[in-house]
Amino acid sequence: MLHVRHAQVAGTTLLGVRYDELRDVTLGWSTKRQIIGQPIFNSQDERVGFVDDLIVGGDRAVTYAIVNAGGFVGLAKHDVAVPVSWFKLMDGKLILDGTTKETPEASPPFEYANDSLANTTVSVG
């Protein structure tokens, strides 16, 4: 019996997502392009930090933003975990309402539990 195998050719492989999933992807945000590294402001338009990382919870939803509240000239890096529900998007800016410039810096620092987990493969299927 002859078995024929077809090699994948660039541009011809079908995506393995349903239409509604593809719609979500195309309408969603790119964390690398639109969130990571972006400045965070308070309601007085003062910069209070930058988005350094996003934490995805067990339910596959983004739960926390890791905000670098330090790292400005002469200051050590100071990461803080902030629930994403606390952010607002106003006029294209990420706003952390009800905070001052000093609030994140005065918060307890966030530390990753185990950096070796950063290289762990996570199944999303």
Assigned domain for 91 exists: yes
**Model pLDDT, residue 124:** 47
Alpha-carbon distance of 112 to 56, in angstroms, equals 13
Q: How many folded domains does the chain comprise?
A: 1
Contacts for 50 with CB less than 8 Å, ≥ 6 apart: 37, 38, 39, 40, 67, 68, 71
Assigned domain for 24 exists: no
Please say whether the beta carbons of 75 and 94 come within 8 A: no
**Model pLDDT, residue 104:** 83
> 99: buried, middle or exposed (CB in 10 Å: 19+, 13-18, 0-12)?
buried
Assigned domain for 4 exists: no
Assigned domain for 68 exists: yes
Assigned domain for 37 exists: yes
Please say whether the beta carbons of 29 and 35 come within 8 A: yes
Query: pLDDT 10s digit of each residue in the chain, 125 long?
Result: 555 555 555 555 555 667 677 667 677 766 777 789 999 999 999 999 999 999 988 888 889 999 998 755 556 788 999 999 999 989 889 999 888 888 888 888 888 887 555 555 444 44
Assigned domain for 34 exists: yes
